[in-house]
Structure 1
Amino acid sequence: MRSKKVKVEDAIGTILCHDITEIVPGEKKGRAFKKGHKITSEDIDKLRRLGKNHLQVVDMDPDDVHEDEAGIFLGKILSGKNVEVSEPSESRVNLFAAADGLLKVNVDALMALNTLEDVVASTLSNYTIVRKGEMIAGTKVTPLVVKGQILKEAGKIRKEAGEIVSVLPFKALKAGMVITGTEVYKGLIKDAFRPVLTEKVEKLGGSVAHVSYVPDDEEMIKNKILEAAAVCDVVLVSGGMAVDADDVTPKAIASVAEVIKYGSPVLPGAMFLMAYMNDDTAVIGIPACGMYAKVTILDLIYPRVAVGERIRKEDIIRLANGGLCRRCESCHYPNCSFGRG
């Protein structure tokens, strides 16, 4: 890439190094040609009318790619399922969600792209809930032209990594609830879990297909989990998750499902439990904070379950970075640091 001064008639096929302004006295003053514009034969007459006899341009080498072409290429490299790509503006291309769902970012591949010279790519945080039409990522190159070899390297990253930015639609999950606690079962206190959990399930396109109340009895809790699992995709078991003598919920879950992780590095939500039955039905143990805290670990994990992702032990451990809720007087979640490690 070289910058040089050329006659207007010799500028066809070159790239402008600067904006060119058009002034109509008493009417307007604005940009007629923008920096980075590729000169065509149709531009020559207008440039002459603007009083331009010479231009400062970029002379492209055979391996050079114009910024807009590079932006389009990078947009295609980034985009996966349920992602739409905009037209370029000064090489920047934006990516938008084509459906409601959960944003999935291959973070390692995104980091690899950004190690390439002249390449910029940024996204919303991985596992952000997004709505159709929402901007989720942007990419561009920094110079007016970029070497084609850089784009080839970007292509290799995509080939090896697969999809880098995608939107996973929420599934219409049928959720079962097993609400434990002798005091609730006997009607001594009002249940506060059901309305909270129902809202979270329905917000992500699911429905509540089964609800049962049981005392702090391991065998009864076990049987109700099995009853719910027979007709549901996920079973939410609330209460009795601590170490009190009456808290037997973890044992009941462990008797019917494989426990992936009991205890989490998220506050609120330390006594959270994630398990799966043999048929992959998710069983989630929800501690008491789930009924009174505005957001908990459930708000970080359940959306991933709702798109069909199987939660691993390391997924929960990784939540430690960003897993502390600030307990703001006015909650701004999800527009805050919680879960954004």
Structure 2
Amino acid sequence: MKTRKVKIEEAVGMILCHDITEIIPGEKKGRAFGKGHRIREEDLERLKGLGKNHIYVLHMDEDDVHEDDAGRILGEVLAGENIKVTEPYESRVNLHAAVDGLLKVNTKALYRINRLDDVAASTLPNYSVVGKGEMVAGTKAIPLVVKRGIMEQVREIGKEEGAVVSVVPFRPVKISLIITGTEVYKGIIQDAFQPVLREKVEALGGEVIDVSYAPDDERMIREKIQRALGLGSDIVLVSGGMSVDPDDVTPKAICSVAQVVKYGSPVLPGAMFMMSYIGDVAVIGIPACGMYAKITVFDLIYPRIAAGERIQKEDIIALANGGLCRKCESCRFPNCSFGRG
């Protein structure tokens, strides 16, 4: 890449290598044309009005890629399913969710791209819940021109690793709620679990098809779970009675009918969480914190299940880094560190 001085009349199609400032006394001083701008026929009169009869432009070598073209390539490589890519502005390309859903980030590919010189890409955290139109990633070329070999490496990473960001729509899942606890079952205390869980699952497009209650009785809880399966539930949420106290028999009931992925999570609040499956049906044991804490491990795991992901033991273990809630006076989740390790 070199720079050279040319007459304005010869500059159409060429690329500015510096900003051109416009000053209107008493009104403004600002950038009229930015470096990297490709001169158009309609720009000539304005440039002359700014006193520019000659300008300095870039002379690109054969192996140079203009920043905007580099930005387009980066956007194409990053974008997966349900992602819309903007046109570059000073090489900056933004990627937006085309649907409501769960953001999936190929962190390995993202890391490999950012190891290359002269390019940068950033995303929202993996497994973020995103809305249609929300910006989920951005990418940019650092200099005005990037060597073609670097952009070829970017493309090769895309071929090897696949897309960097995609959005998985939430499924219209059918959900059964089983509220356990003798006090609630007998009407001694009011059920506080149902409204909280209903709001969270419906916010992601789920439908609560049944709500039932059971005392602290292993057999009855087990029967309620089996009944939920008969109703065609995709997910069964069993709340309460998840501690190690002798009276808390919910974990035993779940273990008797389901394959447990993990009992206990490295997330606070949510340590007594249980993840299990009966075939393809997720059966989730939700501890008492799910009733009174605004955000718990459930808010980290449930969106992934609603998007069709099958949770593994390693997925829960990985939540340890970032799994401690700060308990802010005013909750800012998901715009905080919780679950973002």
**Displacement of 1:297 after TM fit?**
0.2
Which residue number in structure 2 is paired with residue 174 of structure 1? 174
**Displacement of 1:111 after TM fit?**
1.0
**Displacement of 1:328 after TM fit?**
1.7
- On the 8 A contact 1:178/1:236 being kept in 2, the answer is yes
**Displacement of 1:24 after TM fit?**
6.3
Which residue number in structure 2 is paired with residue 111 of structure 1? 111
CA distance in 2, matches of 1:336, 1:209: 33
**Displacement of 1:78 after TM fit?**
0.9
- Gap regions ≥5 residues in structure 2: none
Which residue identity is paired with 1:182?
T
Which residue number in structure 2 is paired with residue 204 of structure 1? 204
Q: Would you say how many aligned residue pairs link Structure 1 and Structure 2? A: 340
CA distance in 2, matches of 1:332, 1:86: 28
Which residue number in structure 2 is paired with residue 233 of structure 1? 234
The 5-angstrom pairing of residues 28-177 of structure 1 reads 31-40=31-40, 43-44=43-44, 46-177=46-177
CA distance in 2, matches of 1:248, 1:143: 62
Q: Which moved more, 1:135-144 or 1:7-16?
A: 7-16
- On the 8 A contact 1:14/1:60 being kept in 2, the answer is no
**Displacement of 1:40 after TM fit?**
4.7
Which residue identity is paired with 2:16?
L
Which residue identity is paired with 2:261?
I
CA distance in 1, matches of 2:182, 2:32: 75
Cα offsets for 1:293-321 (capped at 9, x unmatched): 11100011001111111111111111111
Which residue number in structure 1 is paired with residue 252 of structure 2? 251
CA distance in 2, matches of 1:130, 1:4: 46
Which residue number in structure 2 is paired with residue 242 of structure 1? 243
Which residue number in structure 2 is paired with residue 308 of structure 1? 308
Which residue number in structure 1 is paired with residue 3 of structure 2? 3
Q: Which moved more, 1:221-230 or 1:3-12?
A: 3-12
Which residue identity is paired with 2:234?
D
CA distance in 1, matches of 2:29, 2:264: 64
Which residue identity is paired with 1:181?
G
Which residue number in structure 2 is paired with residue 274 of structure 1? 275
Q: CA 1:196 to 1:334, structure 2 compared with 1: closer, same or farther past 3 Å?
A: same
**Displacement of 1:23 after TM fit?**
5.1
Q: Is 1:335 matched up with 2:326?
A: no
Which residue identity is paired with 1:145?
V
Identity percentage of aligned residues:
68
SS in 1 for 2:257: coil
Q: Which moved more, 1:40-49 or 1:200-209?
A: 40-49
CA RMSD of superposed structures (Å) = 1.9
Which residue identity is paired with 1:162?
G
Q: CA 1:49 to 1:322, structure 2 compared with 1: closer, same or farther past 3 Å?
A: same
- On the 8 A contact 1:263/1:271 being kept in 2, the answer is yes
Which residue identity is paired with 1:263?
G
SS in 2 for 1:255: helix
Which residue identity is paired with 2:3?
S
CA distance in 2, matches of 1:25, 1:288: 66
**Displacement of 1:47 after TM fit?**
3.6
Q: Which moved more, 1:180-189 or 1:298-307?
A: 180-189
Q: CA 1:288 to 1:151, structure 2 compared with 1: closer, same or farther past 3 Å?
A: same
**Displacement of 1:15 after TM fit?**
1.9
CA distance in 2, matches of 1:275, 1:199: 22
Q: CA 1:331 to 1:50, structure 2 compared with 1: closer, same or farther past 3 Å?
A: closer
Which residue number in structure 2 is paired with residue 287 of structure 1? 287
Cα offsets for 1:97-140 (capped at 9, x unmatched): 11111111111111111111111101111111111111111101
CA distance in 1, matches of 2:13, 2:115: 30
Which residue number in structure 2 is paired with residue 317 of structure 1? 317
**Displacement of 1:252 after TM fit?**
1.4
TM-score by length of 2: 0.94
Which residue identity is paired with 1:297?
V
SS in 2 for 1:18: coil
**Displacement of 1:11 after TM fit?**
3.9
**Displacement of 1:27 after TM fit?**
7.8
Q: CA 1:43 to 1:224, structure 2 compared with 1: closer, same or farther past 3 Å?
A: same
CA distance in 2, matches of 1:154, 1:10: 34
Runs (4 or more) in structure 1 with deviation over 6 Å come to: 24-28
- Gap regions ≥5 residues in structure 1: none
